[in-house]
Amino acid sequence: MPLVIAHRGASAYAPENTLEAVDLAAAMGFDWVENDVQRTKDGELVVVHDDTLERTTDAEQVFPDRAPWRVADFTAAEIAKLDAGGWFGERFEGARVPTLTEYLERLEDNGQSLLLEIKDPELYPGIERDILRVLREGGWLDQDHIAHRLVVQSFGEDSIKEVHRQCPEITLGFLGTPPVPELPRYAAFADQINPEDTTLSAEWVAAVHALTGLHGRPLQVSTWTVVDAATAGRVHDFGVDGIITDTPDVVGDVVRPAG
C-alpha cells in the first residue's frame, strides 16, 4: 500500500503550505505532508512554494511598491505580516506563511512526518546548510526522525548531493523522470526518484525498483500531483511507493484497503 502524502498539506481544502493545511491533513488521518522551503532576505527559512509572494499572499496590497515580490527580497518580519489564507477563502483569512521552525513544531505536535522540498536551490546558495541547521535545532535529525519521518527532495541534483555530504544519513529524493538507461546514475545519490504522474509507466516504476538506492535499499517512487481517483488507481497499479496529492481523502479511499 503506497504512502499517501498530503501535497503542501491538504491543499485542495486549505491554503497550501500553511499550518491550517497541515492540521487538516492530520484531522483527515494522514501522517505525511509535503512542503516547500525558500529563504528570506534576512536568512529565515519559510514554507512557501513560489519564489514570489503574490499568488498565495496579499503582498501586492500590503507592499504595492515591491514588485515582483520575491521571497528573497523580503525579511521574515515583513512576510509575517502577510495574509496567506484569504486568497483561498474567507474562513482562512489571517493564515500566515509559516517559518520552517514553526512548521516543524506543528508537525511534531501532530505526530506527522515530512517530505521537505528544497525549492529553487540555485536562488539560495547554502540553503542546504540552513535547512539542516533548523532540522537539527528542531530535533528532526535524531535516529527516529531520520529513519522514519523525514525525506528531503529537490529538482536540484547538486542540492541533494550537498545535503548528503553534510548529513549522510538523510533519505533523499530526486524530482523528475530520468530515462531508464540513466536510472543507475541517479540511484548512486538518491533513495527515491519522484516523478510527475503524467510521465509514469509500470515499466519505468519496475526499472526503478530493480535498482538499489543510496542507502542500500531498493529505490522507491513517490509520484505527484495526483488529485483524482482514476489517476490514483492507475499509479497504484503501477506499484508506486507513495502518492503525493492535494486530495489525500480521495486518494486514501482508493489505495487503503476497506475496513
pLDDT in tens, 4-61: 999 999 999 999 999 999 999 999 999 999 999 999 999 999 999 999 999 999 999 9
Q: Can you give the pLDDT at residue 222?
A: 98
Pick the CATH number of 3-51+98-255 from 3.20.20.190, 2.40.160.50, 3.40.50.2300, 3.40.930.10: 3.20.20.190
Q: Which amino acid is at 184?
A: P
Would the pTM of this model clear 0.85, i.e. be above it?
Answer: yes
Q: Is 7 a catalytic residue?
A: yes
DSSP state string for 49-117: SSSBSTTTS-HHHHSTTSTT-BGGGS-HHHHHTS-SSTTT-GGGTT----BHHHHHHHHHHHT-EEEEE
Residue from 7, 209, 215, 236 carrying the catalytic annotation: 7
Q: Is 236 a catalytic residue?
A: no
Q: Can you give the pLDDT at residue 259?
A: 56
Residue from 49, 164, 209, 236 carrying the catalytic annotation: 49
Q: Can you give the pLDDT at residue 257?
A: 75
- Compute the distance between CA of residue 94 and CA of residue 248 in angstroms, rounded to an integer: 24
For residue 256, name the pLDDT band (cuts at 50, 70, 90). confident
